[in-house]
Amino acid sequence: MSNFENIIERSRVLESQEQPYALATVIRIIHPTSANVGDKALVTSDGKIYGWIGGGCAQPLVVRMAKLCLEDGKPRHIRITPDPRGEKAVEDVLEFGMPCQSGGTIELFIDPVTIKPGLVVLGESPVAFALARIAPHVGFRVTWLTDNEIETPDVRIIPAARSIEISPGAYVVVATQGINDMTQLKLALSLRARHVAFVASQRKAEKLRITLLESGADSAAVEAIEAPAGIPIHAKSSQEIALSILASLVSRVRSTELEQNVQEEASKEAAIAETATT
C-alpha cells in the first residue's frame, strides 16, 4: 500500500468512527531536505501521524500545529527553516526556526477535517421529512430510512426494509408518529446509537417503554430514550417540532465536545504535573 493509499484508508476509518484529523501537505521545499513537494501526512487528534512530511525534526512541530488546527478549526500555513531565531509570523505564514542536520526549509499547509455527527431518521411522517430537510443545514450527516422516492439534497436514503450499520457516535430519531412505532423503536435500540429520541407524547412513550421492557429490551437503553423528543418550545407544525428536536441534539453534541475538551485539558495538566515531579 502506497503512502497516499494508507492516508486514504486511515481517513476512512477515522470518518467512520467520527474522529477528526488534520491533513498536512508539503507545498514548498528548499534543499537539502528529505521531504518533497506533495508529500502528505494525516495527524490524528491524539497526535499519531500517518504518512511522510519530513524527518524527525519536522514531525513534532507538525503534530503540535495540527492539534491547534483541530482545536480552533482553522487551517495553518507554516514554514520550518534552519533559522534558529524561533517562531514568528511572516505575512500569513507561521515561521519556525528548527535547526536540523539537513539544514533545509519545508513549507506545509495543515487543514483540519472535522467530522459531522451522524443522524439516522426512522419513520416517514411529516416530522421525519422536516428533519431530513433541516438537519444537514445545522451540521448533521443524515441517513433516512424510507421507502418514499423523495429527492433530499445531502441526505443518504436507504430503503426501510434494509439493515444498516451506523457509526458509534450517531444519533437516532424515531419519527413514526403511529406507524410501526414498536418496530422502529426496536430497530433504534439495536443500532446502539449515542442517543435515541422518540417523537411521541409522554403518555404514549411510557406505554411503549413498558412494551419494550416486556419484550426483553435492555432496561437502561429503554430508560435513556428521549421522549417526548426535543426541547419545549410549544411547537405545533412539523417544522417547529423538527427544530426543537435538532436544538436538543445540537446541545448534546456541543456538550459532548465540551466534556472531551475538559478531559483532554485535565490529562495535559496531569502529564505536566507528573513531569515536573520527576
pLDDT digits (tens, 9 = 90+) for 131-154: 999 999 999 999 999 988 777 778
- Determine, yes or no, domain membership for 10: yes
Q: How confident is the model at residue 260 (pLDDT cuts 50, 70, 90)?
A: low
Stretch 18-32: mean pLDDT, rounded?
A: 92
CA 81, CA 99: separation in Å to the nearest integer? 7
The residue to which cell 500545529 is assigned = 65
Residues 108 and 122 in one domain: no
* 156-172 pLDDT per residue, tens: 898 877 778 777 678 99
Give the three-class secondary structure for 191.
Answer: coil
Residues 164 and 203 in one domain: yes
- Determine, yes or no, domain membership for 133: yes
169, amino acid identity: G
Q: How confident is the model at residue 229 (pLDDT cuts 50, 70, 90)?
A: very high
Residues 47 and 141 in one domain: no
**CATH code for the domain of 131:** 3.40.50.720
Please list the residues that pair with 143 across neighbouring strands: 120, 156
* 48-62 pLDDT per residue, tens: 999 999 877 889 999
Q: How confident is the model at residue 97 (pLDDT cuts 50, 70, 90)?
A: confident
| DSSP structure class, residue 216 | T
Per the structure, the count of domains in the chain is 2
Beta strands across the sheet bearing 40-44: 49-51, 40-44, 21-30, 105-113, 76-81, 93-97, 88-90
- Determine, yes or no, domain membership for 276: no
CA 100, CA 182: separation in Å to the nearest integer? 64
- Determine, yes or no, domain membership for 185: yes
- Determine, yes or no, domain membership for 54: yes
Give the three-class secondary structure for 169.
Answer: coil
CA 252, CA 254: separation in Å to the nearest integer? 6
User: Containing domain of residue 221, as a range?
Assistant: 118-257
Model pLDDT, residue 82: 86
Alpha-carbon distance values, 149 to 40, 121, 155 (Å)? 41, 15, 12
Per-residue pLDDT at 268 exceeds 60: no
Q: Give φ, ψ of 141 to 5 degrees.
A: -90, 115
- Determine, yes or no, domain membership for 19: yes
Residues 105 and 230 in one domain: no
Model pLDDT, residue 100: 67
Residues 53 and 160 in one domain: no
Residues 124 and 107 in one domain: no
Residue ending a domain, among 95, 113, 131, is 113
Residue 191 CB coordination number (10 Å)? 16
Give the three-class secondary structure for 90.
Answer: strand
- Is the model more confident about 88 or about 157? 157
Model pLDDT, residue 266: 65
Residue 168 CB coordination number (10 Å)? 12
Q: How confident is the model at residue 278 (pLDDT cuts 50, 70, 90)?
A: low
Give the three-class secondary structure for 172.
Answer: strand
Residues 134 and 249 in one domain: yes
Residue ending a domain, among 64, 89, 113, is 113
- Determine, yes or no, domain membership for 267: no
Residues 10 and 129 in one domain: no
Cis check: omega of the bond before 136, within 30 degrees of 0: no
Residues 206 and 167 in one domain: yes
- Determine, yes or no, domain membership for 168: yes
CA 86, CA 101: separation in Å to the nearest integer? 17
* 27-80 pLDDT per residue, tens: 999 988 889 999 999 999 999 999 999 877 889 999 999 999 988 889 999 999
Residues 158 and 234 in one domain: yes
Residue ending a domain, among 81, 113, 145, is 113
Residue 190, burial from CB neighbour count under 10 angstroms (0-12, 13-18, 19+): exposed
Residue 271, burial from CB neighbour count under 10 angstroms (0-12, 13-18, 19+): exposed
Q: What's the CA angle centered on 166, arms 23 and 115, to 5 degrees? A: 25
Model pLDDT, residue 84: 72
Residues 136 and 106 in one domain: no
Residues 124 and 249 in one domain: yes
